[in-house]
């Protein structure tokens, strides 16, 4: 383990960021699974929840904004195809 204070601080920051990013990605995956398993009547509300989770993750730079937009587009396309 390094002895420099800046390296120790960077390691602490890395642990915090890693936990935050993992939690955000987990929330995205959970909301997508809830959307896919939802009844047809509630799909629109669940799609809004998924879009919100994706946008929040993109703003926090957990995922790239293009990935967020691509995922939202694919889910909306799937919703429109099933309707």
Among residues 2, 1, 3, 83, the alpha carbon closest in space to that of 43 is found at: 83
d(CA 53, CA 1): 36
Task: Walk along the chain (83 residues) in steps of 10 and give the mean pLDDT of each run.
Answer: 88 96 96 92 93 96 97 95 81
Q: What is the reported pLDDT for 1?
A: 65
Residues 6+ apart with CB under 8 A from 59: none
Which residue shows structure tokens 């959970």?
30
Q: Are 15 and 47 in contact (CB under 8 A)?
A: no
pTM for this structure? 0.84
């Amino acid at each position: 383990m390094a002895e420099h204070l800046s390296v120790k601080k960077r390691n602490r920051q890395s642990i915090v960021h890693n936990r935050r990013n993992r939690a955000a990605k987990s929330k995205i995956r959970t909301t997508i699974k809830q959307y896919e398993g939802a009844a047809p009547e509630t799909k629109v509300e669940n799609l809004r929840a998924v879009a919100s989770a994706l946008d929040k993750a993109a703003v926090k730079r957990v995922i790239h904004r293009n990935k967020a937009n691509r995922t939202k587009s694919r889910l909306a396309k799937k919703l429109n195809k099933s309707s």
